[in-house]
Amino acid sequence: MAPGLRDLQLTRLAGGDEESGDLEDVRLLDSYEDTGSFNRIEEGMRTIQVRITGMTCAACSNSVESALNSVNGVLRASVALLQNRADVVFDPNLVKDEDVKNAIEDAGFEAEILPEPGTFGTKPHGALVGQFTIGGMTCAACVNSVEGILRNLPGVKRAVVALATSLGEVEYDPTVISKDDIVNAIEDAGFEGSLVQSSEQDKIILGVAGIYSEMDVQLLEGILIQLKGVRQFCFDKMTREVEVLFDPEVVSSRSLVDGIEAGSNGQFKLNVTSPYARMTSKDVEEASKMFRLFTSSLFLSIPVFLIRVVCPHIPRVYTLLLWRCGPFQMGDWLKWVLVSLVQFVIGKRFYIAAARALRNGSTNMDVLVALGTSASYFYSVYALLYGAVTGFWSPTYFETSAMLITFVLLGKYLECLAKGKTSDAIKKLVELAPATAVLLFTDKGGKSIGEREIDALLIQPGDTLKVLPGTKVPADGVVAWGASYVNESMVTGESVPVLKEVDSLVIGGTINLHGALHIKATKVGGDAVLSQIISLVETAQMSKAPIQKFADFVASIFVPTVVALALLTLLGWYIGGALGTYPEQWLPEKGNHFVFALMFGISVVVIACPCALGLATPTAVMVATGVGANNGVLIKGGDALERAQKIKYVIFDKTGTLTQGKATVTTAKVFTGMDRGEFLRLVASAEASSEHPLAKAIMEYARHFHFFDEPSATKDSPKHNKETNSGWLFDVLEFSALPGKGVQCFIDGKLLLVGNRKLITESGITIPTHVEDFLVELEESAKTGILVAYDCSLIGVLGVADPLKREAAVVVEGLKKMNVMPVMVTGDNWRTARAVAREVGIQDVMAEVMPAGKADVVRSFQKDGSVVAMVGDGINDSPALAASDVGMAIGAGTDIAIEAADYVLMRNNLEDVITAIDLSRKTFARIRLNYVFAMAYNVVAIPIAAGVFYPSLGIMLPPWAAGACMALSSVSVVCSSLLLRRYKKPRLTTILEITVE
């Protein structure tokens, strides 16, 4: 019997003693029914689904799962992080629905019991998740302001705002608050808001071609009013798009489009607008708008600068500027008019945003810009008016206001360009999506009777689609007819085409290379693989790393501190001048102490804008997630990036992770007089009813053997009345799979057992010494021995090997070079585990671990505070992935494993484990450098701007130069993050050369 978890010991190969006794093979011989055991409900048990709000990472889902499993009466619970859902099986005599809900809420999350399928046929009213564009945010203070306002709205359960993407994700109750209310709240806060997309499945945005007049608009509205299932619609005359809310139980999106086009007699041509495409167009529009504002401000500011600096050296021009026109000189009139246009027309956005921010009780960069430019502008106006009245003309600083606004707009324009580049990964993924599809119409016999080209966004589950050579597969589905090779590199990263035949799975967006295919669509819209990848990347880019919380906190108190510091600077220099602490020669020509002090105060306000601080983390996270996606590594958030850079242990599952997961039979030894062919027929007949991976390997071996060597009957072979449909297998009765042991069945009335030692010994069959010696020999050569008993007699042994992945040993060595300790955990027996560990170079081995115990192994390594990563691929690995600090799921693994992980390695290549860790380390090195860029300008330049070095060195920073430094700090941070795009992952040939950073 396998030892309990409390008896597990960390065993090192070096110096370890050989274990003796009855060693069990658990992992390889687990029944396939065991992996799907959650779907089986024991008699008297009840299962419910619970929607969970507030989970943000694998640690949250693990916390919820632990809380549920600790409730007395709960048999098992599984939490799906991406779906925000839990499946709970419990004894209704001990646990009520409310107890489950209370357990989740006690863990710190919100819970809602979902109606059971089939109850009254009503649609559950759960929370919706909407994405909103938020224009006008300039710094972390803006983000905090918007988040605070959104979270305080009634019905809003969660709100996350990302500065780098100008996006907000809001989870809200549609029965309490609408998306329009959320947009209005964003706009009332002083920002521009619009809905990008929502998790509701009853909204579609259609571009309409063929509308030329108001009569056409009325025709469209009339058609929509008459269509059944249409709840609400809104036509935008500017974009020529109509947004339609409809009841999906009454009308489908495709029927809706067909109904509009048919109702117009073909006048209207509709196309579905992708929300991602609309978001991209908004990014381009924002950048264009900023460029127009910047060029306009620059065009008006250059003459002001020339009048102040260049024209005094051109006598004729300077004489013209000194010509008095009314109370002022011509030069003063020109500067006043030009700067007024910059200040109040081009710079209007700063005043509006600053006013709304102050109204909401927050301060941001716009407040500082408005303060700095207003101080220099209104002082200059005052100086002109004062001179006209008294005749005492003080110097004006109109150029300071104009140049400051110009530099700020330049910084914002460059930020817009950088933001566009950081979202390249999403844009590339969106471009992979097919635009159209060929829909096939078939008769009852499945024969094609026609076809039609439709928008790919209108594909519905169950549609039969035709895929021509050289075109993209339009949706996730199953091949119904044909055979071809498909390039799946966009998902797996592998350039070798994959053969697709009938019943093969295909992924939307991959490219069909050769023959034509007919596929049946199974997953469309948000359920498709490509959509889920886009969603993962987008969610990761919106997530906040813990290090960013510090930046947000600093930003929230930074602006008031800067304003106070500026006032102290102004008062200090003004009072110092009044007291005569510095000579009059320091004052500007025709200036006074107040003007002198004011320039220092304005410079402090301008130089200290914290916009760069707010960009330091999110821009780096955005670039890193995009780079990771391009390299086959999907990162689920900034918190995962931050944890991954500190990894000390990487725990590998063996089967399917370190090994190829494709077991092959290497040995078939018969210990009786039975013919080898008949022996294989017996074993294959039993395994034909199993879906375990091992059964497939045995079937392939037996089929191959009989193809070349048809067995002859012997007196020892069992009699049989008829063969199965395969033509060479025996009839099997009373087949059953025994989890953790093997399979059993009856052939010709005699019991056949195929499994491990435990199955054989528990059945009362003795294992001879020579058979035991043969088993040990197999296990010490990294093979698993499968015992076969027939009619209460041990008749033979099969040796099964699962080849190691070719890169496994190199990856293990590379991790050691990075000071990361590799560990292997497996359900296999100790001898097999040790043999595999020796081959890959792993010293720390945990063997004979049942699936549920893998999470406890992870926790044992976390006890000293170490950051532990788990790499796995199967359902059995998902609890360990969730329990680990950093879960890494092999992309070819199960959906449940992928949901529980923080990283998804799409290529099924262990080299990506090193890529994930290396990218995380380089990203956070870049983030730290970004904070240096963000703070260095402030730390170094604020004392200069405040005039600390003016008395001793005569160095001062004019306000317009302070504005240039402020803009440069933001540009430096963004450009620093963009350098991550040059990241090259460590190649297999150079992994051993990796050094610790």
Confidence grade of residue 398 (pLDDT, cut at 50, 70, 90): confident
| Res 415: pLDDT | 67
How many C-beta atoms lie closer than 10 Å to residue 248's C-beta? Answer: 14
pLDDT at 17 over 60: no
Range among 34-38, 281-285, 576-580, 918-922 rated most confident? 918-922
| Res 40: pLDDT | 40
Confidence grade of residue 475 (pLDDT, cut at 50, 70, 90): confident
Q: What tokens were used for 363? A: 């301060």
Compute the distance between CA of residue 110 and CA of residue 691 in angstroms, rounded to an integer. 39
- Does residue 995 or residue 544 have the better pLDDT? 544
Compute the distance between CA of residue 349 and CA of residue 375 in angstroms, rounded to an integer. 17
By DSSP bridging, strand 867-872 and strand 647-653 are: parallel
Q: What pTM was estimated for this model as a whole?
A: 0.60
Of 436, 441, 442, 455, nearest to 257 by C-alpha is: 455
| Res 453: pLDDT | 84
Catalytic, out of 202, 653, 873, 902? 653
Tell me which H or E stretch contains 247: none
Range among 290-294, 321-325, 495-499 rated most confident? 290-294
Tokens 């070719």, residue located: 806
pLDDT tens across 65-107, in order? 878 888 888 888 877 654 567 878 888 888 888 888 888 887 7
Q: What tokens were used for 945? A: 């701007």
Range among 110-119, 588-597, 691-700, 862-871 rated most confident? 862-871
Looking at every residue in the chain, the average pLDDT score rounds to 76
Tell me which H or E stretch contains 242: strand 241-246
Q: Are 915 and 633 in contact (CB under 8 A)?
A: yes
Q: Which residues contact 79 (CB under 8 A, 6 or more apart)?
A: 52, 55, 61, 62, 64, 65, 68, 85, 86, 882
By DSSP bridging, strand 476-482 and strand 794-801 are: unpaired
In Å, how far are 251, 776, 779, 812, 833 from 15, measured between CA atoms? 70, 19, 19, 20, 16
| Res 851: pLDDT | 62
pLDDT at 711 over 60: no
Confidence grade of residue 717 (pLDDT, cut at 50, 70, 90): very low
Residues in the chain: 997
Burial (Cβ within 10 Å: 0-12, 13-18, ≥19) of residue 788:
buried
* Residue-wise DSSP of 590-626: T--HHHHHHHHHHHHHHHT-THHHHHHHHHHHHHHHH
In Å, how far are 205, 344, 773, 880, 882 from 852, measured between CA atoms? 46, 66, 31, 8, 12
Compute the distance between CA of residue 754 and CA of residue 744 in angstroms, rounded to an integer. 6
Residues in a beta bridge with 50: 86, 113
Type of residue found at 643? R
Least confident interval from 218-227, 266-275, 906-915: 266-275
What's the whole-number mean pLDDT along residues 180-198? Answer: 79
Type of residue found at 244? V
Q: What tokens were used for 795? A: 């008749």
Q: Are 115 and 122 in contact (CB under 8 A)?
A: yes
Confidence grade of residue 6 (pLDDT, cut at 50, 70, 90): very low
Compute the distance between CA of residue 884 and CA of residue 913 in angstroms, rounded to an integer. 15
Q: What tokens were used for 208? A: 């309409």
pLDDT at 822 over 90: yes
Q: Which residues contact 757 (CB under 8 A, 6 or more apart)?
A: 22, 23, 24, 25, 767, 775, 787
* Residue-wise DSSP of 855-866: HHHHHHHHTTS-
Give the chain's largest Cα–Cα span. 129
Q: Are 399 and 335 in contact (CB under 8 A)?
A: yes
Compute the distance between CA of residue 86 and CA of residue 75 in angstroms, rounded to an integer. 13
Confidence grade of residue 673 (pLDDT, cut at 50, 70, 90): confident
Compute the distance between CA of residue 798 and CA of residue 902 in angstroms, rounded to an integer. 38
| Res 654: pLDDT | 83
Q: Are 594 and 395 in contact (CB under 8 A)?
A: no
Share of the chain above pLDDT 90, in %: 2
Strand order in the sheet with 448-455: 448-455, 436-442, 464-467, 517-523, 476-482, 505-506
- Does residue 508 or residue 878 have the better pLDDT? 508
Compute the distance between CA of residue 341 and CA of residue 713 in angstroms, rounded to an integer. 102
Q: Are 966 and 606 in contact (CB under 8 A)?
A: yes
Q: Are 287 and 277 in contact (CB under 8 A)?
A: no
Domains in the chain, CATH or no CATH each: 46-114 (3.30.70.100), 128-196 (3.30.70.100), 430-541 (2.70.150.10), 622-660+805-919 (3.40.50.1000), 664-707+731-801 (3.40.1110.10)
| Res 61: pLDDT | 64
Of 142, 146, 141, nearest to 156 by C-alpha is: 146
| Res 341: pLDDT | 92
pLDDT at 185 over 90: no
| Res 12: pLDDT | 37
The span from the first CA to the last CA of the chain, in angstroms, equals 46
| Res 583: pLDDT | 77
pLDDT at 996 over 50: no
pLDDT at 893 over 80: no
What's the whole-number mean pLDDT along residues 721-733? Answer: 62
Compute the distance between CA of residue 785 and CA of residue 832 in angstroms, rounded to an integer. 10
Compute the distance between CA of residue 995 and CA of residue 346 in angstroms, rounded to an integer. 52
Compute the distance between CA of residue 134 and CA of residue 162 in angstroms, rounded to an integer. 9
pLDDT tens across 416-460, in order? 766 665 555 566 667 677 878 888 887 666 666 778 888 888 888
| Res 434: pLDDT | 80
Q: Are 459 and 874 in contact (CB under 8 A)?
A: no
Q: Are 203 and 174 in contact (CB under 8 A)?
A: no
Residue 801 backbone zone (phi > 0: left; psi -120 to 50: alpha; other: beta): beta
How many C-beta atoms lie closer than 10 Å to residue 738's C-beta? Answer: 20
Compute the distance between CA of residue 52 and CA of residue 38 in angstroms, rounded to an integer. 19
| Res 907: pLDDT | 76
Q: What tokens were used for 888? A: 């890494």
By DSSP bridging, strand 821-825 and strand 844-846 are: parallel
Burial (Cβ within 10 Å: 0-12, 13-18, ≥19) of residue 834:
buried
Confidence grade of residue 32 (pLDDT, cut at 50, 70, 90): very low
Least confident interval from 256-265, 648-657, 780-789, 930-939: 930-939
| Res 718: pLDDT | 39
Compute the distance between CA of residue 51 and CA of residue 111 in angstroms, rounded to an integer. 6
- The DSSP call for residue 458 is G
* Sign of the dihedral through C-alpha 97, 100, 104, 105: positive
Of 938, 166, 985, nearest to 542 by C-alpha is: 166
Compute the distance between CA of residue 39 and CA of residue 989 in angstroms, rounded to an integer. 44
- The DSSP call for residue 446 is S
Q: Is 653 a catalytic residue?
A: yes
Q: Are 945 and 386 in contact (CB under 8 A)?
A: no
Of 959, 943, 937, nearest to 375 by C-alpha is: 959
Strand ranges (DSSP E) for 400-447? 436-442
Q: Are 363 and 563 in contact (CB under 8 A)?
A: yes
Range among 17-26, 404-413, 970-979 rated most confident? 970-979
Range among 210-219, 360-369, 555-564 rated most confident? 210-219
Provide the Cα torsion 18, 20, 22, 24; round to 10°: -10
SS3 per-residue string spanning 717-742 = CCCCCCECCCCCCECCEEEEEECCCE
Type of residue found at 937? Y
Helix ranges, 322-397 (H): 330-341, 348-359, 365-390
Of 286, 283, 291, 559, nearest to 406 by C-alpha is: 291
- The DSSP call for residue 654 is I
Q: At what angle do helices 593-607 and 546-578 cross, to 10 degrees?
A: 170
What's the whole-number mean pLDDT along residues 706-720? Answer: 42
What's the whole-number mean pLDDT along residues 947-968? Answer: 76
pLDDT tens across 332-357, in order? 888 889 989 998 999 888 888 777 76
